[in-house]
Chain A
Amino acid sequence: MELSWWAHLWSVLPEIVLVLAAALMMAVDAWLPEGRKRELGYWAIGGLAAALTVTAVQAAQLAGGIAVPYEAFGGSVRADLAAMLFRVIFLLAGILTVAISMDFRPLRQSGEYYILLLISVLGMGLMGAAVNLVMLYLALETVGIALYLLAGYLRDTPRSAEAGLKYFLFGVFSSTIMLYGLALIYGFTGEIAYARIAQALAGLPAPAVMAALLLILVGFGFKVSAVPFHFWTPDVYEGAPTPVTAFISVASKAAGFAVLIRAMIEAFPTAQANWVAIMAALAFVTMTVGNLLAIPQRNLKRLLAYSSIAQAGYILIGIAAASPLGVAASIFYLGIYTLMNIAAFAVAVIMTNVTGSEEIRDLAGLSRRSPGLALAMLAALLSLGGIPPLVGFFAKLLVFAAAIESGLLWLAIAGVLNAMVAFYYYIMVARAMYVDRSPEEEKPVWISRPARFTLWFTVAGVLLLTVLVYPLYLLAQMAAQAF
């Protein structure tokens, strides 16, 4: 079928908007006088919001049946509901990140920061839509390069420079191993499109397919920070500028899951028994190691790093279930994880601005110092911990239900036990805010307007979705049918 040029462009319209926005920002950056550089953040939010509007319209058209899913650019990308929903996650994460970046003191206002952020969101959108190996690899690397630079953005701060270098070295190494796997798959089958690879792999010897699959999973495992590919996570999360950490912890992880879900289901259906076993093992190790290592942490960013590793473990359960329910549960989980985690990091950003420290003990007395801020953090933590009735509880319920439905009862039980362990360290943070006293309780906490927006949006989102669980689940279910 010959596509019209408009059909080609429609499939990547959000990315086109983002490229134009990035180009515009380069001009604006040169033109704005030195004292007004802060306004660059609003330009970035404008670009991301324009792309989000386009994506929302496209998603509505696909969900409503006005548009049908199709592959464009010679089978490079697919325009389907799953790709659009993942784009919504990336774009929202981008907007919320820019909002907490604008008044984050260590980041002096500069155009490069926002342009790199826009380009990484662009790459993530294509990661979620990619249906062949060339597109997958290029999109992954585009995101990687932009994020390595953002992690090391405070180049005069040794810890940030170290974070950037560490992220770069680990990232390059794991993506090289993944590239080896992709090359093997191409050599075995002579195909780059997922669907054709799936056909060609059917008759091939299992050990060869398994070897290539394992190599590819190294790259994906790095992106979602699954154990044992998680070693970079705490150091990079701690050293990177906090807004960047928030962005990496949600958007980059969601993008990793997007390619993982699509590649496993569309390219490796013949090896499903193998990858289900791998995913189940990865899920178990990831959540257990993440939770156990989170307990002794005293630094808020490191705690959230290990917590985000554990969260990746829960999401992997949904993929290990390898069912429509499992995929829907994973997408659902990623959507609300984005809101909860950015809320938690927004509080971290605000507190770093005020106290200049990232230690948990410096949250002491926050409930008296700024009751609203403490309440926002509490909502985020309880939702991350999966306490009913908050929406985080339903996310966990869905992945565990998917595991039981697919006969992985042991994994569901391990998940429940893990959630109980995780509750302990989330409560430790809450205790610091509500029980511990501090001599600085009288000093007010300054929250900039964009950061206030991020807090309101994420916390209201978590609360609203607690009420609207079912519509969100239906949406995730429709997206899961795309596979």
Chain B
Amino acid sequence: MTLIQAVFVLFAILTLGAGLFTVLSRHLFHAVLYLILSLVGVAGLFVLLEAEFLAGVQVLIYIGAISILIIFAVMLTRGMARNPGPPLNNQSLAAAVIAGLFFVLLAPVIAGFPWPQATQGVPADAIEALGRSLVDPNQFALPFELASVMILAALIGAIFIAREKR
């Protein structure tokens, strides 16, 4: 095992392990903390893939902003922070079996696939190209605009749902 592979396994364990604790922890607040840990693992994987910009964005947006928002939501929702329910219900065994089956069926397919190898490294101006591609009509300008409309819809809906009764 090379050093890179060892680091990868470390980050993978961090991501998946923290993800598992996210769904298994009794307290919603603890779940958020585990989620943050899992997202740190993903940021590490981005660094490993030489996508430093995405790693930075991951830390800033997911760990910095979105987690804080979730914590706010948990603390502001009545009873949610105080009254933890059991994390498992009576369907957990069936769900685990199906998830396991899913893994058993999919893993050999993915492991046996002749994955293409990246031949050249990441170009030096990758961030600039990324920025340009988001506003270039011949690349991703339309999906980028659509994403903003989608977020607008989500925003309107969130305000509507959370608004006090009149």
Chain A residues packing against B (C-beta within 8 Å): 2-3, 5, 8, 12, 19, 72-74, 76-77, 110, 112, 115-116, 119-120, 122-123, 126, 134-135, 138-139, 141-142, 145-146, 148-149, 152-153, 155-156, 184, 187-188, 190, 204-205, 207-208, 211
7 A-B pairs in the complex with CB atoms less than 8 angstroms apart: A3-B137, A8-B137, A74-B138, A110-B160, A120-B153, A139-B146, A187-B115
Q: Interface size class for chain B?
A: 20 to 34
**B136 close to A (CB within 8 Å):** yes
B-side contacts of A76, CB under 8 Å: 140, 142-143
Residues of B within 8 A of A74 (CB): 136-141
Query: Is B3 an interface residue, CB under 8 A from the partner?
Result: no
Residue from the list A119, A139, A190 in contact with B152, Cβ < 8 A:
A119
For the complex, would chain A's binding face be called helix, strand, loop or mixed by DSSP majority?
A: helix
A8–B149 Cα distance when bound, in Å, is 18
The secondary-structure label for the interface of chain B is helix
Binds A, one of B17-25, B86-94, B106-114: B106-114
Q: Which B residues are closer than 8 A to A by beta carbons?
A: 105-106, 109-110, 112-116, 136-143, 146-147, 149-150, 152-154, 156-157, 159-161, 165
Contact B161 A149 (CB under 8 A): yes
Top 3 A-B pairs ranked by shortest CB distance? A149-B157, A73-B142, A74-B138
A2 partner residues in chain B, CB cutoff 8 A: 138
Give the CA-CA distance A283 to B22 in the complex, in Å: 38
> Are B150 and A123 closer than 8 Å at their CB atoms?
yes
Specify which of B114, B153, B161 lies most central, judged by the most chain A CB atoms within 10 Å of its CB.
Answer: B153
Total CB contacts across the A-B interface at under 8 A: 92
Min CB distance A240 to B, Å, is 14
In the assembled complex, how far is the CB of residue A195 from the closest CB belonging to chain B, in whole angstroms?
16
CB distance from A136 to the nearest CB of B (A): 10
Q: Decide: A211 near B109, CB < 8 A? Known: A73-B142, A135-B142, A145-B157.
A: yes
Closest to A155 in B: B161
* Complex CA distance for A208 and B113, rounded to whole angstroms: 7
Whether the Cβ atoms of A205 and B113 lie closer than 8 Å is yes
CA distance A155 to B147 in the complex (A): 26
**B153→A149 contact, CB < 8 A:** yes
